[in-house]
Amino acid sequence: MTTINEPSAKSAPRFFMGITKQGHVVRYHETLVEDVKNELERFVEKAPWLDAPNRVNIADIIRILSKDGPVEHVYLGPAYVFPDMRGRSSQAIKITQMNIELLEPYFSDFVNDVILGQPAYAVVQNQSVVSLCSSARSSAIAAEASLHTAPDFRGRGYGMEVTAAWAAEIQNQGRMALYSTAWNNFASQAVAKKLKLRQYGMDLNFS
């Protein structure tokens, strides 16, 4: 890997693993030392925890990666797929370059995300976007949601509204709508629960 498939185009993690009951996907940063990569490959091959993906031995992965340099960031979280959202009513509106000024004042830093992460949907209050969902990652087969709500407007169900509208358009395009979050992001997991998303796996990445 070199970069993340996101509008921000950040550097990819040193080690990524996506785990499902059907199998797993593993990727390595192109700069990772070959000996460390080989040790991680052997670790993954023997991994009995693939049958219980919520119980990954994080300490072992960190120990191996530390031979290449300190581990500064660890991300773990569930990955979900949306049920059919088409035909669901919503107060969310689509955000394009035609009305992108609505991102002020709460989401002025998200202009690039909206332009490159279409489709994008938002709840607007007093001519300002207060909750926003766009595509964090996108391919011809699927797209993954990127959800943000301004702090003063959280707890009102707006995140659920914009995410459902986003997912409906992705599904209307014939693609799968996906959603992922960190285990410690309880607000984001609450959105997943309210929308009855189905967990199909778990993502891990280490930088």
| 61 within domain boundaries | no
**Which of the pair, 46 or 43, is modelled with greater confidence?**
43
| 77 within domain boundaries | no
| 173 within domain boundaries | yes
Q: Output the CA torsion sign for 163, 22, 48, 67.
A: negative
CB-based contact 76:203 (threshold 8 Å):
yes
Give CA angle at 21 (28, 172), nearest 5°: 85
| 102 within domain boundaries | yes
Integer Cα distance of 87 and 56 in angstroms: 38
| 47 within domain boundaries | no
Closest CA relative to residue 30, chosen from 6, 14, 42: 14
| 74 within domain boundaries | no
| 26 within domain boundaries | no
Residues in the chain, how many?
207
pLDDT, tens digit, 9 for 90 and up, residues 56-109: 678 888 998 999 889 999 989 999 999 999 988 889 999 999 999 999 999 999
Q: Please give the pLDDT value at position 4.
A: 66
Residue 157's domain comprises 93-180+188-197
Helix (H) or strand (E) holding 58: helix 58-65
Q: Please give the pLDDT value at position 142.
A: 97
Rounded alpha-carbon distances, angstroms, from residue 138 to 7, 142, 146, 176, 195:
10, 6, 11, 10, 21
Q: What mean pLDDT comes out for the span 14-40?
A: 87
CATH number at residue 170: 3.40.630.30
CB-based contact 103:110 (threshold 8 Å):
yes
pLDDT class of 8 with cuts at 50, 70, 90: low
Q: Please give the pLDDT value at position 55.
A: 57
| 71 within domain boundaries | no
Total count of domains within the chain: 1
**Which of the pair, 4 or 147, is modelled with greater confidence?**
147
CB-based contact 186:78 (threshold 8 Å):
no
Integer Cα distance of 123 and 73 in angstroms: 32
DSSP designation for 86 = T
Neighbours of 35 (CB within 10 A): 11
pLDDT, tens digit, 9 for 90 and up, residues 109-163: 999 999 999 999 999 999 999 999 999 999 999 999 999 999 999 999 999 999 9
